[in-house]
Structure 1
Amino acid sequence: MSSPVPMPYPESPGTVRFTTDGVPATRRRAYWREALAMTFGSVDMAVPDEVRSGTIRVAALGRVQAVTVESDPQTARRTRSLIASSDNEDFVVVKLLSRGGARVEQDSRDSAVHPGQLFVYDMARPIRLSLPEPFLTRSLVLPRSVLGLGESDVSRITASPLGSDTALGGLLVPFLSRLVDTAEACPEPVGELITRNVVDLLTVLADEQRGADTTDSPSGVRVLMTRIRAHIDANLGDPDMSPATIARAHHISVRYLHKLFESEDITVSRWIQRRRLEECRRALSRRSAANVTVAGIAHRWGFSSPSHFSRVFRDVYGVTPAGWRALNTSAREVPADREEPLPQRAA
């Protein structure tokens, strides 16, 4: 492995960006190989002699890392010798191919992956991942202990692409894409919750591959809750959303909907309000929304009464919406030429 090379400054707390921009051409290939290895673990990385451009963004979601990679073609192999020499915790990677093509080989499977499909691979077993054209990927890097699946269960789902045309892929693809894109701005409790939903869906996938009936299983219930939360998030701006409309959209009774949320120790209405407040708080923190009134932001996220919004916002966050905006829109500027040492492995 090449010697450590300088890395750019963190973009924000918990977020690091690796980029070839500004790296001399003679050092770019070594820089990129090192950045990839530090992000995903020790691999035998083949990259072109001339790496024109590459960017990796890593955001922490507790013990999980949300990673975006945009780069020129490359091939990565993790061999048995590399696995044996690694003293890091085992990691499982859930990767969405957003642009370009790929081929993944693991557990006797050799699969072509197309844009819009996601796949899983296990860093504890040999793997070959080829990306023969410029690509964009979004990934979650999960410690095996977070995933909660044994080696045999993981082996059932590796290198098996899922697209949005499948039932689980239709949930996982947009979920993972949104989670990775918003990870750096995602409040920690929300990020952990969404990550847990992704893990639950992977558990159901492993159950299905094992041939288990998930209809009444705990994992099946978790999938239903994931669908319901995704529906709520997609309709936060609708002031008429209610337990009745949510139950009707999922072909369940309102009583059963309330029962599902009892296990979360929160009511359906309180969950909706909390998610709306979180989105309003995020919008109020953005300088790009400085010209939007507080009432406009409240309306955008489903609050029909500005006075009610101000009251509940103050009750939850201890400050008025205007006060929160004043405290959080003066973003800290960081000099463009600042550099930091290469951090420890991102995952």
Structure 2
Amino acid sequence: MALVLTTASVPDGEKLTYWRDALGRALVPMAVTARADGPFEGRISTKWLGHLRISTIDADAHRMSRTPAHIADAAAGPAADQVAVGVQRVGTATLIQDGRRTFVGEGDLVVYDTARPHSLDYPRRFSTHVVHMPRRAVGLPEEGLRQVTGTAIPGTDGIGALLATFLTSLTASVPPCAPAAAASLATGVVDLFATLVDTRTPRVTAPRTHPGDHLVLRVRDHIDRHLGDPDLSPQTVAAAHHISVRYLHRLFEGEGVTVGRLIQQRRLERCARELARADDSAPTVSAVAQRWGFANPAHFSRVFRAAYGLSPREWRGAQNALLPTG
């Protein structure tokens, strides 16, 4: 079921204020400025697919601005660290972020970062689909993301067309499915977006040809397949690949993360996804922690809060806050 917020039954003098609050509830807090006199009309529908928040906005011309003050107020919550990908279905827009001013035409994809100030200006009535992805779920380096945030990407060919079609289909009808299937679909969206970013990120270094590269890939795969083992550690990883711990650390010197940190990051990502489940069969926080290799609940709570800014229970509540209660 979707959360639907509309100005249809709101008194004319209160419509714009209602709309600002609706955007803050369904998306992120923003300032709203109408571009025309007269009653404002808008409708937003929001659904969840795994850890993705999927929204459709139909509204009259207006400008939405996310300021440093908004970001500071939301700094402790999950909305402060989202990557948004929109598909402009009807009308046009102008996006401003990081000093970039970008025209968005019908059919274009638009990418922006909710953790940094931005504005979207719609000069006439419009319709757009927006998908919010937790930054940690995206798993891309900051420099890669900044290559595409604040930009518009044609949705007519290549990976852009594939992603635009996929997102449009999901927003039209999020399929009813089990949590595991929803998580897989959400991961597919994130992976497709990551591929799009990769194709648009300039290569500043030659492809790696070091003999250890294939071993790094094998180690990463081993870690992903054994996250539920509480004994997983650099020592056990090294032993499984018949190398020393010292050599293992040398292999990862160019990866931007230590092996121990990688294990913890991957475990936290799996926990965060599973905690976003909202059905009655969703496991307890302690069960999720144990499933992904955290033997000590107190330690899990500490590292989760350090990574996501919320306790595991607060994260679960925040991820499900938009779902209808009736």
When residues 158 and 149 of structure 1 are mapped into structure 2, their CA distance, relative to the original with a 3 A threshold, is same
Residue 71 of structure 1 deviates from its aligned partner by: 0.6
Q: Distance in 2 between matches of 1:62 and 1:175?
A: 15
Match of 2:22 in 1: 35
Per-residue CA distance 1:112-147 (angstroms, 9 max, x = gap): 011111111001111111111100011111111121
Which residue does the alignment assign to 1:22? 9
Task: List runs of 5+ in structure 2 lacking aligned partners.
Answer: 208-212, 215-319
AA at the equivalent of 1:108: G
Please tell me the residue identity of whatever aligns with 1:33.
Answer: R
Q: For each residue in 1:278-321, what CA deviation from the matched residue of structure 2 results, as whole angstroms up to 9, or x when unmatched?
A: xxxxxxxxxxxxxxxxxxxxxxxxxxxxxxxxxxxxxxxxxxxx
Say whether 1:62 aligns with 2:50: yes
Distance, in Å, in 2 between the alignment partners of 1:109 and 1:193 is 34
Alignment of 1:229-308 (within 5 A): none
Q: Using the alignment, how far apart are the partners of 1:120 and 1:104 within structure 2?
A: 9
Q: Give the SS at the match of 2:188.
A: helix
Cα distance, 1:95 vs structure 2: 0.5
Matched, 1:136 2:127: yes
1:244 alignment partner in structure 2:
none
1:73 maps to which residue?
61
Alpha-carbon displacement from aligned partner over 1:56-80 (angstroms, at most 9, x marks no partner) = 1111112211101101011111122
Q: State how far apart, in whole Å, the 2-side matches of 1:198 and 1:27 are.
A: 37
1:275 counterpart residue number? none
Structure 1 counterpart of 2:112, from 113, 121, 124: 121
Pairing partner for 1:155 from 136, 146, 151:
146
Question: Could you tell me how far apart the structure 1 residues matched to 2:177 and 2:126 are?
Answer: 25
**Which amino acid is the alignment partner of residue 139 of structure 1?**
V
Q: Give the drift of 1:186.
A: 5.0
SS in 2 for 1:157: coil
1:209 aligned partner: 200
C-alpha distance in 2, partners of 1:193/1:139?
19
Contact 1:101–1:113, Cα closer than 8 Å, also in 2: yes
- Work out whether residues 97 and 149 of structure 2, in 8 Å CA contact, stay in contact via their aligned partners in 1: yes
Compute the displacement of 1:85 (Å). Answer: 2.4
- How many residue pairs match? The answer is 208
Distance 2:6 2:176 in 1: 20
**What SS does structure 1 have at the residue aligned with 2:151?**
coil
Residue 95 of structure 1: aligned partner: 86
SS at match of 1:191: helix
Aligned counterpart, 1:192: 183
Cα distance per residue 1:10-57 (max 9 Å; x no partner): xx3xx2110112112122221111101112212122135544421111
Unaligned runs of 5+ in 1: 1-11, 219-342
AA aligned opposite 1:203: A
| RMSD after superposition | 2.6
Residue 180 (structure 1) aligns with: 171
Match of 1:208, as an amino acid? T
Could you list the per-position Cα deviations for residues 218-253 of structure 1 after superposition, in whole angstroms to 9, with x for gaps in the alignment? Answer: 9xxxxxxxxxxxxxxxxxxxxxxxxxxxxxxxxxxx
Pair 189,149 (structure 1): closer, same or farther in 2 beyond 3 Å: same
Q: Secondary structure at the match of 2:8?
A: coil
Amino acid paired to 1:17: V
Cα distance change of structure 1 residues 130 and 23 upon mapping to structure 2, 3 Å threshold: same
Identity %: 29
Query: Normalising to structure 2: TM-score of the pair?
Result: 0.58
The 3 A distance-change label for structure 1 pair 180 and 187 is farther
Q: Does 1:165 align with 2:156?
A: yes
